Amino acid sequence: MGHKLLFVTLVLALPLMAGCMPDTPETHLSWDANTRMTKYQARAYTPSTRTYAYEDRHAAPRPAPVRAARVDSKPLAPVAPADAPAFAWPVAGRVISDFGATATGGRNDGINIATTSGAPIHAAASGTVTYAGDELKNYGNLVLVKHSGGYTTAYAHAERLVVRKGDFVARGQVIGYAGQTGDVTTPQLHFEIRQRTTPVNPRAYLTSTTASN
């Protein structure tokens, strides 16, 4: 009887416990991204030192695998899908941190563009503002804009924002002014493009090769 009562108590408590769980930044900001791995993904990414396979002891020995010749080649330049929006550079300046792995072993999900304090930040493409605030401290003042095709752009470290959640912005419209809020010490803009939940290399989607054009 005691075991049954304990089971019923746990079942009733689960919904209450779930309701007390805090919102993750991704859910709260509607960024269409979740960086947490599920248990299945964690197992899939765990490195293994041993491979298990069934072998018939009475079967003929397997031939030695043929090792393919190594081909050295440079990685291809990123190319945006044909149906992706045409994104313009949000500010003029020099890229000081590129997309991908960093020298310190981290990863940059966008690009950082050095600019002057107070420089206008322009919407890279038309869309709807889904977030404008400073709740993600590392990003400082941050704007997220949702575009067609499931794309989202992010603009971080702004000194001041001039749009609010729900605003529709046109390509090239000023959405804020550059600064050094968050975890940076020089004026710059951290700019991301995400397709659904996946950060993509902004250089493949921008309509020109340099931010000064």
Asked whether residue 18 is domain-assigned, the answer is: no
pLDDT tens for the chain, 213 residues: list them.
555 554 444 444 444 444 443 333 443 444 553 333 333 333 333 333 332 232 334 445 555 555 544 444 444 456 767 778 899 999 999 999 999 998 888 999 999 999 999 999 999 999 999 999 999 989 999 999 999 999 999 999 999 999 999 999 999 999 999 999 999 999 999 999 999 889 999 999 998 876 654
Cβ neighbour number for residue 119 with a 10 Å cutoff: 21
Number of domains the chain is built from? 1
Burial of 133 by CB count in 10 Å (0-12 exposed, 13-18 middle, 19+ buried)?
Answer: middle
Asked whether residue 67 is domain-assigned, the answer is: no
Residue type for position 112: N
**Rounded to two decimals, what is the model's pTM?**
0.66
Q: Who's near 95: CB < 8 A, 6+ residues apart?
A: 111, 112, 113, 114, 211
Q: Which of 205, 119, 101 is nearest to 157 (CA)?
A: 119
Q: In this structure, what is the dihedral angle of CA atoms 207, 78, 175, 25, given to the nearest 10 degrees?
A: 170
Asked whether residue 176 is domain-assigned, the answer is: yes
Asked whether residue 72 is domain-assigned, the answer is: no
Tell me if residue 8 falls in helix, strand or coil.
helix
Asked whether residue 158 is domain-assigned, the answer is: yes
Q: Which residues of 158-169 are buried (b: 16+ CB within 10 A; e: fewer)?
A: bbebbbeeebeb
**Domain that includes residue 157, residue range:** 94-204
